[in-house]
A and B are shown apart, each in its own frame.
Chain A
Amino acid sequence: MKFREYEAKQIFRDAGIPVPNSVLITSPNEAAPALSIVADNVVLKAQVDVGGRGKAGGILPANADNINAVAAELFGKTIKGLKVEKVLVEEALEISHEYYLSITIDRSKKMPVILFSKEGGVEIETLAKERPEALRRIYVDPSFVTLPDFIVRNAIGDAPKEIGKIIRNLYTVFIAKDAVLAEINPLVMTPQGVLAADGKIILDDNSLARQGISENRDLAPREAEAEKHGFSYVELDGSIGVIGNGAGLTMSTLDIIAHYKGKAANFLDVGGGANSDRVMYAVRLVASMPGVKVIVVNLLGGITRCDEVAKGIIAAGISQPVIVRLAGTNEAEGRRLLEEHGYRMLDTMDLAIRAAVEVAQ
């Protein structure tokens, strides 16, 4: 789950990372009072979670003379499909240099990595590709609670010393928040010193509960509902409903539907150890999507038991045809139950998917 800029900056401020003065507002009439607290010259920054916010008109400069008009303009906007509901009123900065700083996880090395560049403010992917030597990568032993001095020195090189303290504090945020990314881009040099001019924190979705977050707000409403039942779910626009267990097998099912020139209506992974209630809910959810003509259930038992799956399919009692492929733990019992209730069960994944594509056509 992602934190918005204003949330990230509050976390930075609490952790001792210097950020520009700012006030969050939720309506245009709060803008002028906010300006009087913040600075004579400000920027209004729309708190929407999209890339390229600035270019899309989500960041506007303002002063005491035009603040009301600029605020009204920004609150009236929809940026890349998202309505502007929150705006950060932040002091305009006099920037002499921009740096890039982030801490993330390197999958191959299984370690946190600090990424630092003296050339910030550019597209960081472009920099990494075209001038990789300009991006320092310093790996951190994950058992470190705080950063040892040599790591900080290696990260900053000849950049200003005060950045070292920011790196230490950013690492504390990264650990304390169970983050998979803590980024400051750009980190800017100003007459007041070095400041985090923008911030981004992405939390590990598996750690939300212990971070005291009960709902992942990045999920669409139906996805969130689906998640409560223990599966991952994405809506697509075809006519073949898909239910699988395990992300790999479900992805593979979508790939084979495409291979036979069919179109999948969704991606639904019921997850490990799905019981009959969860399967029933999954079948009903997929069947309720408009345009679903047939559902293919492709399940291999491991931690999932085939008899539980069969009971769930039967209990769902939906009107569209369900074509089933089941194999694995308690397979014989699952097969017996389904056949008793007249469901079409095919022996292989390819056959079941091809049959579903034919029914859909």
Chain B
Amino acid sequence: MIYAGKNTGILVQGATGSQGKFHINLMNEYAKEIGSAGVVAGTTPGKGGQEVFGVPVFNSVIEATEEHDIGASVIFVPAGGCGDAIMEAADARIPAVITITEHTPVHDIMRAITYARSCGTRVIGPNCPGMLVPGECKLGIIPANLCMKGDVGVVSRSGTLTYQVISELTSAGFGQSGIVGIGGDAVIGQTFSEVIDEFHADGRTKTVVLIGEVGGNLEIEGARRAIDLGMPVISYIAGVSAPKEKRMGHAGAIVEGGEGDASSKIERLRALGIPVATRPSQIPELIHEVR
């Protein structure tokens, strides 16, 4: 199991908004196809009693958990209420919270992640596409039609770039054991290393594909963890030619060791002996190399 499994009942917070509705439908279409539990309840304050594609909507997370067995929540609420939504799910002791919402205030997220940790809740995201384990569960917005069951674990900071990588893998015949988008914000819940731990514990991942970008040094930590666990890992880092991202200022660069740009990150990964693709379509051949 990677955060959630076939029998995990899913809650959607922000169920009655346009994105919430749209993706409840897609998640449950996939759940029906593979025979998993899917989305069993939704919440939107003040909209309790409504239904979205047959899924009952509650006013609060605690009410939803009283009537349904919920193992994970997917959050689509607007940015300003996102930190609150994470804490509400954690307060109801939901084990995993997947936060799709983007543009969330960073202080809210730091606080929510800290609170969630104290409740034993693991947070994925924000600003992420969620996760999908082919044949088992879909929590979020990763297009299921691109995925195929297999033994490659994909972990990524990006959304759409992840879909690109999955479609390259699937067309080359490499199925996936799990796909986890950890989010593109400066502060996120689960990081590369934690997801790699999860792949390792699950035991079905033979190769890890680590997709990174400019900024921060989480990729290096993740790569080191995979090496420590004896898991073969290959990587792709986007942003070699992109204009420099806005920086947090000098102090932020100090904390991160000033090595967040794509080229130096690629150098550091290669120095660890990790093959790094120059473009996504090269990933399948690199997997052949490490196997």
Contacts and interface: CB of A to CB of B under 8 A. Distances in A.
A64 interface: no
Contacts of B265: none
A183 B255 CA distance: 14
A256 B254 CA distance: 31
A234 interface: yes
Interface stretch (A107-115, A147-155, A278-286): A107-115
Given A104-B252, A248-B184, A303-B141, A327 B163 contact: yes
A128 B254 contact: yes
A210 B107 CA distance: 12
A105 B252 contact: yes
B162 to A, nearest CB: 8
B111 to A, nearest CB: 5
Nearest to B215: A107
A349 B102 CA distance: 25
Contact of A105 (B129, B156, B186, B218): B186
Nearest to B105: A207
Given A255-B238, A259-B279, 20 more contacts: A104-B255, A105-B252, A106-B255, A110-B187, A135-B254, A178-B105, A181-B249, A181-B251, A181-B252, A200-B249, A210-B80, A248-B213, A249-B158, A251-B213, A271-B102, A302-B143, A303-B100, A349-B164, A349-B281, A350-B279
Interface SS of A by simple majority? mixed
Interface of B: 19, 23, 26, 79-80, 100, 102-107, 110-111, 113-115, 129, 141-143, 145-146, 156-164, 167, 184, 186-189, 191, 211, 213-214, 216-218, 221, 238-243, 246, 248-256, 258, 278-281
B255 A113 contact: yes
The 3 closest A-B pairs by CB, nearest first: A248-B158, A248-B161, A246-B160
Contacts of A106: 255
B115 A143 contact: yes
A128 B257 CA distance: 8
Contact of B252 (A180, A249, A272): A180
5 contacts: A247-B213, A248-B158, A249-B158, A251-B241, A348-B281
Nearest to A305: B22
B19 A273 contact: yes
A247 to B, nearest CB: 6
A271 B127 CA distance: 11
In the complex, which range does the number of interface residues on chain A fall in?
35 or more
A34 interface: no
Contacts of A340: none
Contacts of A318: none
Contacts of A207: 105-107
Contacts of A328: 143, 145-146, 163
Nearest to A113: B255
A271 B19 CA distance: 14
Contacts of B163: 249, 300-302, 327-328
A240 to B, nearest CB: 12
A265 to B, nearest CB: 12
A209 B142 CA distance: 29
